[in-house]
Amino acid sequence: MTSAVFPARRTYVVPLPDHRELRLGERPLVMGILNVTPDSFAEAAPTRDPAVAVERALRMQEEGADIIDVGGESTRPGTEPVGGREELARVLPVVRALVKRIRVPLSVDTYRAEVARAVMVEGVSIINDISGLQYEPELADVVAASEAALVLMHTRGRSKAMYAESVYRDLVADVTAELEASLLAAAARGVVAGRVIVDPGVGFAKRPDDSYGVLARLPALAAALDRPVLVGPSRKSFMREALGGRAAPERDWGTAAAVTAAVLAGAHLVRVHAVGEMAQVVRVAEEIRKAGERATGLR
């Protein structure tokens, strides 16, 4: 038997508080990004109107999104944070309208305990914490009490200073160790390990070479952590030079390449802006991956 073309992707079942579950590993899932901020780095026309945001989310669902991730604060490098009250004012109207109309699970991209508490009462079943519990460790208490799923992303420092922290002795070993610390912090506060998804944080506290390195070495990271892996490369600045300096809204072709690499490397979920296009990319990349498994006798 020849060696594997692509690394094996482990399977997981992540329970959600509404008696649903995420079956991760059977195929890659697509998380659609729904920003409700005035300053999203990746969108030419940011969405602030709740009615427009709801329609956009419903369109993403029809285009193939398996999860909708609502964000009320831009976390691009260098941005100023908004307060929890302002974040809630942006997110809550959208969440309240969506839970009545959408079929797929809702996620909220927040690191604030007060925001997580408010949206989970409304029916959100996943919290996506870009800080890996570094900014507000008490977020884990709220998630544990609700039995929601939790995404822990790798980063270092706050948005304004994260690039100063992007010095690694061994990229994968360092990112893995720091995500393991986040997993331990979550467990210490009662979050069940089986409800946690990890995100290596492409573009966060990482120079372009580091972000490419994370994508290239994703199998090693996934094997070491033994948790489902989410990858979010969509329209990020690490690909700007390779794309000739294109602005973020014009980076979907580059995003397609990064999404393909993530799927072939074993990612369980990809987080993207252009859901319709990237859902097609995911499906074709997965067929290539399955062909590799058949060729090596893994299926």
Provide the pLDDT confidence category of residue 180 given band limits of 50, 70 and 90: very high
Predicted confidence at residue 268, as pLDDT, reads 98
Residue 299 has pLDDT above 60, yes or no: no
- Percentage of the chain beyond pLDDT 70 is 93
More confident residue, 80 or 1: 80
Residue 159 has pLDDT above 80, yes or no: no
Q: What's the rounded Cα separation, in Å, for the pair 223 and 225?
A: 6
Sign of the CA dihedral with 200 first, then 206, 208, and 214 last:
negative
Residue 18 has pLDDT above 90, yes or no: no
Mean pLDDT of the chain: 92
Q: In terms of Cα–Cα distance, which of 127, 125, 131 is closest to 116?
A: 127
Question: What is the pTM for the complete model shown?
Answer: 0.94
Residues assigned a catalytic role = 236, 271
The CA-based angle 34-35-37, given to 5 degrees, is 160
As a whole number, mean pLDDT of residues 173-184 equals 98
As a whole number, mean pLDDT of residues 230-254 equals 97
As a whole number, mean pLDDT of residues 206-224 equals 96
Residue 45 has pLDDT above 60, yes or no: no
Provide the pLDDT confidence category of residue 216 given band limits of 50, 70 and 90: very high
Provide the pLDDT confidence category of residue 83 given band limits of 50, 70 and 90: confident
Amino acid, single-letter form, for residue 283: R
Token readout for 134 is: 């570094």
Predicted confidence at residue 235, as pLDDT, reads 96
Contact present, 7 and 261 (Cβ < 8 Å): no
Amino acid, single-letter form, for residue 147: E
Token readout for 73 is: 């604060």
Amino acid, single-letter form, for residue 235: R
Predicted confidence at residue 81, as pLDDT, reads 78
* Contacts of 138 by beta carbon, 8 Å cutoff, 6+ apart: 113, 189
Helix (H, G, I), strand (E, B) or coil at 249: helix
More confident residue, 52 or 164: 52
Give the bridge partners for 107, in sequence order: 69, 126
Q: Is 169 exposed, middle or buried (0-12, 13-18, 19+ CB in 10 A)?
A: exposed
Predicted confidence at residue 1, as pLDDT, reads 47
Instruction: Write the DSSP string, 145-164.
Output: HHT-EEEEE---S-GGGGGG
Q: Where does 139-237 have alpha helices with state H?
A: 139-146, 171-188, 208-216, 218-225
As a whole number, mean pLDDT of residues 70-93 equals 86
Lowest mean pLDDT segment, chosen from 89-98, 156-165, 211-220: 156-165
Other C-beta atoms lying within 10 Å of the C-beta of residue 199: 25
Token readout for 230 is: 């989410």
* Contacts of 186 by beta carbon, 8 Å cutoff, 6+ apart: 133, 140, 143, 150, 152, 193, 196
Provide the pLDDT confidence category of residue 40 given band limits of 50, 70 and 90: low
Amino acid, single-letter form, for residue 161: A
Q: In terms of Cα–Cα distance, which of 279, 195, 196 is closest to 234?
A: 279
* Contacts of 47 by beta carbon, 8 Å cutoff, 6+ apart: 34, 35, 36, 53, 56
Predicted confidence at residue 267, as pLDDT, reads 98
Domains belonging to the chain, first-starting first, are 18-295 (3.20.20.20)
Helix (H, G, I), strand (E, B) or coil at 64: coil
